[in-house]
Amino acid sequence: MTTYHINQAGFAENAQFIVSPNFDDRALHTGCADTAPATEDGISLIVIHNISLPPSQYGGNGIIELFTNQLNPDEHPYYAQIHTFKVSAHFLIRRDGALIQFVSCLNRAWHAGVSNWQGRERCNDFSVGIELEGSDFEAFEAVQYQTLNNLITAIRKAYPIQSIVGHSDIAPGRKTDPGPYFDWQQVTR
């Protein structure tokens, strides 16, 4: 199994890198109008998601095309609804365990949306977003948990992670992922 190391530039060595334009500089949200550039100390949360494009179909390029603003609205009816979304995540773990990185951990990926964790809003400011190729309707693969745990270990070595949560934990009522088939007992916390 591949081990990962997050380098000083915020990239996981041994991961495939595909550039997403959907990111910006991190800012620490202090609860007031002003924000300051984040340091590594500002990264304290890991948010786990699931995604499949088209919905409940795996292995295609839909996720990559969405995160790189290249999704063709004519390829699938669902794509017509989402092709203008400007979203990303730091990482994607495919069904076969392959790891793709889209955004440096030092930058803010656009994965959480309107969110709150322990009284802190705007979770994108202080989190790393990890997407697992999957859905709310079936189990994830054992190899995905292996890659996820190796990645979590690497992220924890690089940043002072305090919590690992699901998208549903930071956006309850709005989001359901990683879903009922995600087995939290298999996650290194």
ω into 178 cis (within 30 of 0): yes
**What is the separation of C-alpha 141 from the centre of its chain, rounded to a whole number of angstroms?**
17
Cis link prior to 54 (omega < 30° from 0)?
yes
Per-residue pLDDT tens for 133-158?
999 999 999 999 999 999 999 999 99
Q: Give me the DSSP letters along 100-169.
A: EE-S-TTEEES-S-S-EETTEE-GGGTEEEEEEE--TTSPPPHHHHHHHHHHHHHHHHHS---EEEEHHH
pLDDT score, position 30: 40
Which residues 6+ apart lie within 8 Å of 104 measured at CB? 9, 10, 11, 23, 90
Pairing, β 127-133 against β 45-51 = parallel
Mean pLDDT of 165-181: 98
Query: How long a stretch of residues is the chain?
Result: 189
Query: Is the predicted pLDDT of residue 41 greater than 60, yes or no?
Result: no
Mean predicted confidence (pLDDT) in 52-77: 97
Catalytic choice (75, 121, 131, 138): 131
pTM above the 0.85 mark? Answer: yes
Tens-digit pLDDT profile for residues 70-85: 999 999 999 999 999 9
Check if the beta carbon of residue 139 is closer than 8 Å to that of residue 43.
no
Structural domains of the chain, ranges and CATH numbers in brackets? 5-21+39-186 (3.40.80.10)
- Residue 17 tokens read as 């890198």
Active site annotation includes 131: yes
Q: What is the mean pLDDT of the chain?
A: 93
Return d(Cα 146, Cα 150) in angstroms, integer. 6
